[in-house]
Amino acid sequence: MRVDFVKAIEGVLAADPRSMFVTGDLGYSALEGVAATYGRRFLNAGVAEQNMVGVAAGLALAGMRPWVYSIAPFATYRCLEQIRNDVCLHRLPVRIAGNGGGYTYGIMGATHHALEDLAVLRALPNMRLFFPCSNDHVAGAVSQMAALDGPAYIRLAISPYTTPVAPLSEQPVTLTRQYAARRDATAPGVTIVGVGHGVQIALRALASGGLAEANVDVFGVARFPWDFAADAALLQSVAATRNVVSVEEHYADGGIGESLRAALPEARAFRILAASYSPEQRYGSPAFHLQQCGLTPEALVAAVRESLR
């Protein structure tokens, strides 16, 4: 998603002279073009994320609309109080981009994983979250963020299960995508909700035929807070199936699935597939980590079967 993000950002920087790009010393072989083109509107704040976010707040108070970029944990937890006090409490248009949501950074290890970024940020006032489902979902999110007058966060990630499935539809306001629709409106069915790039696990399950027997709607959600007035299709699906399985590369506690479960009390059953570390945690590729915590197409298929039992 990083390439798509940089491409979208170049569009924003070109279109809006108030926009700026601030990086926490990240961007090798990605941001050189932005750095060369935008002069003082590009700023490498160094490995100093608390100052980076405070500076971005100052820039925003001076009328600018900065984007702040780093690896997801460094762009969020390290400077959480600056995001809360300096950005969110002041409702400033500071847009934070965290690269490497979930286990994207794999073998780089636990310090580089981001499994609670959405949880901590979704608790903050005035904050809006974006978590694109796939590379071609990034531009739409960036464009919405660029238009906001308040704080926002985008979670950029890569799934090892990335599967090119064209969505049946995309809701223009919420960016929610529907990838599969139930065959039989009257038979028992399941609503699968993939959170951001977590939906790729469901798309792989679809593509591999694992869900062929099941009567499922598959949605990919990409934005928080919820806007169910716009997301009527998702709401109708849950009203019909009353049976939801959500999947996200993020801890269950504080995650987007948890929030969806709270928002949709009409779901009789709600299973959350989420990330975790085990006490005997070992490290490896993103796929290895997803296997370790049971975030796989096979596990999703099993959860769907079980929920229909």
Partner 1 sequence: MSEPSTLLSLREEALAVRRKFLRMHFEAHAGHLGTGLSDIDILVYLHKVWLAPGDQFILSKGHGASSLYATLHHFGRLSDADFATYYKDGTLLPAHPAPGALEAIPAATGSLGHGLPIAAGLAYAHKYIHQTKRRVACLVSDGECNSGSLWEAALFAGHHRLDNLTVIVDANGLQGFGRTKDVLDLEPLADKWRAFRFRCEEADGHDFSRLHEALQRPPDGAPTCVVARTVKGKGVALMENKLEWHYLPMSQEQYTRALEDLAEAESRLKQQKQS
Interaction site with partner 1 (CB under 8 A): 20, 40-41, 43, 45-46, 48, 50-64, 81-82, 85-86, 89-91
* CA distance linking residue 99 with residue 67, whole number of Å: 13
* Radius of gyration in angstroms for the set of CA atoms belonging to the chain, rounded to a whole number: 19
* CA distance linking residue 298 with residue 121, whole number of Å: 30
Looking at the Cβ atoms of 51 and 276, the one nearer to partner 1 is 51
- Min dist CB 105 to partner 1, Å, is 24
What is the token pair recorded at 57? 């707040």
- Min dist CB 96 to partner 1, Å, is 15
Looking at the Cβ atoms of 56 and 304, the one nearer to partner 1 is 56
Identify the CA nearest to 69 among candidates 87, 48, 95.
95
Looking at the Cβ atoms of 57 and 300, the one nearer to partner 1 is 57
The number of CA neighbours under 13 Å toward the Cβ of 291 is 9
- Min dist CB 53 to partner 1, Å, is 7
Looking at the Cβ atoms of 60 and 141, the one nearer to partner 1 is 60
Looking at the Cβ atoms of 54 and 167, the one nearer to partner 1 is 54
CB atoms within 10 A of CB 44: 16
- Min dist CB 86 to partner 1, Å, is 6
- Min dist CB 62 to partner 1, Å, is 3
Contact 205, 167 (CB under 8 A): no
- Min dist CB 177 to partner 1, Å, is 36
Looking at the Cβ atoms of 61 and 173, the one nearer to partner 1 is 61
Looking at the Cβ atoms of 48 and 139, the one nearer to partner 1 is 48
* CA distance linking residue 293 with residue 309, whole number of Å: 23
Angle between helices 297-308 and 199-207 (to 10 degrees): 80
Residue 243: strand pairing partners: 269
Looking at the Cβ atoms of 90 and 242, the one nearer to partner 1 is 90
Chain mean position to CA 218: 17
- Give start and end residues of each alpha helix (H) in the chain: 2-15, 32-38, 49-61, 72-76, 80-81, 117-122, 138-147, 199-207, 232-241, 256-263, 286-292, 297-308
Contact 136, 149 (CB under 8 A): no
- Min dist CB 28 to partner 1, Å, is 20
- Min dist CB 47 to partner 1, Å, is 9
